[in-house]
C-alpha cells in the first residue's frame, strides 16, 4: 500500500495555512482556497508542514487519511503555483477564441458554441486550435476542461474534435472497398 498520508505537506514561502476545526484554509498569491475534511482525520501544523493523522478507533480513518493529505496538498499547490490544462482542437474549420468573458468555439455545428468563463478561472487561446485553462482549484480546472472537451470529443477515424494535450486517440481503420 502507498501510505501517502504519512508524508507531511510542506508549506512554501508566501502561503499561509490555517486549520479551524476540520476546515483547512490556504491563502497565497493566487487566491484563497478552503476544504472541509471528514472527522476521521486529525490535521496539525508544525513549523511549515501540515501533518495528517488518522483518528484512533475510526474504521474509515485509514481510507480517508491519504485522500485528506492529497486534498491539502492540492490546496497549497493551487494557491502557490496553480494548475493548468491544455486542450487541442483538430478538424477543418474547428477553432476557438476568447471574446470578453466567453470562450467562443466553432466545432462543426451549425452554430457557435459559447462557454461562459467562470470566476477564478483563466482561459487563453494562444492560437485558434489551442485552449489553455488555468486556475488555483484543481477540481474546477479539470471539470471545465472536461466540459469543453465534451462538446466535441475526438472521434476515432480522423481524430477530429477537442482533446487533451497528452491524450492519445486510438485510431480505427476506415471501411475497405
Range of the domain at 67: 4-80
Q: Which of 80, 113, 129 is the last residue of a domain?
A: 80
Shared domain for 75 and 113, answered yes or no, is no
In the numeric block, which cell numbers belong to residue 127?
Answer: 492560437
Q: What is the mean pLDDT of residues 124-136?
A: 96
DSSP state of 153: P
SS3 category, 167: coil
In a domain, 176, yes or no: no
Is residue 106 included in any domain, yes or no?
Answer: yes
Q: Is residue 174 part of a domain?
A: no
Q: Same structural domain for residues 93 and 151? A: yes
The CATH number that applies at residue 19 is: 3.90.930.12
Give the model confidence (pLDDT) of 35-71 as tens digits. Answer: 999 999 999 999 899 999 998 887 888 889 999 999 9
Asked, for residue 173, whether it belongs to a domain, the answer is no
Section 73-90 average pLDDT: 95
Mean pLDDT, the chain, rounded, equals 93
27: its cell numbers:
491563502
d(CA 39, CA 43): 10
Please state, as a whole number, how many other Cβ atoms lie within 10 Å of the Cβ of residue 167.
12
What is the average pLDDT across 7-25? 92
Amino acid at each position: 500500500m502507498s501510505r501517502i498520508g504519512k508524508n507531511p505537506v510542506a508549506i512554501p514561502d508566501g502561503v499561509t495555512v490555517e486549520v479551524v476545526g476540520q476546515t483547512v484554509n490556504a491563502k497565497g498569491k493566487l487566491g484563497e482556497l478552503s476544504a472541509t475534511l471528514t472527522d476521521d482525520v486529525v490535521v496539525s501544523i508544525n513549523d511549515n508542514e501540515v501533518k495528517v493523522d488518522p483518528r484512533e478507533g475510526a474504521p474509515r480513518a485509514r481510507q480517508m487519511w491519504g485522500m485528506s493529505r492529497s486534498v491539502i496538498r492540492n490546496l497549497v499547490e493551487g494557491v502557490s503555483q496553480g494548475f493548468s490544462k491544455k486542450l487541442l482542437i483538430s478538424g477543418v474549420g474547428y477553432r476557438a477564441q476568447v471574446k470578453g468573458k466567453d470562450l467562443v468555439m466553432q466545432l462543426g455545428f451549425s452554430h457557435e458554441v459559447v462557454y461562459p468563463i467562470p470566476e477564478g478561472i483563466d482561459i487563453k487561446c494562444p492560437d485558434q486550435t489551442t485552449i489553455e485553462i488555468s486556475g488555483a482549484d484543481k477540481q474546477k480546472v479539470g471539470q471545465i476542461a472536461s466540459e469543453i472537451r465534451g462538446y466535441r470529443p475526438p472521434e476515432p477515424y480522423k481524430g477530429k474534435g477537442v482533446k487533451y494535450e497528452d491524450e492519445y486517440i486510438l485510431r480505427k481503420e476506415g471501411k475497405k472497398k
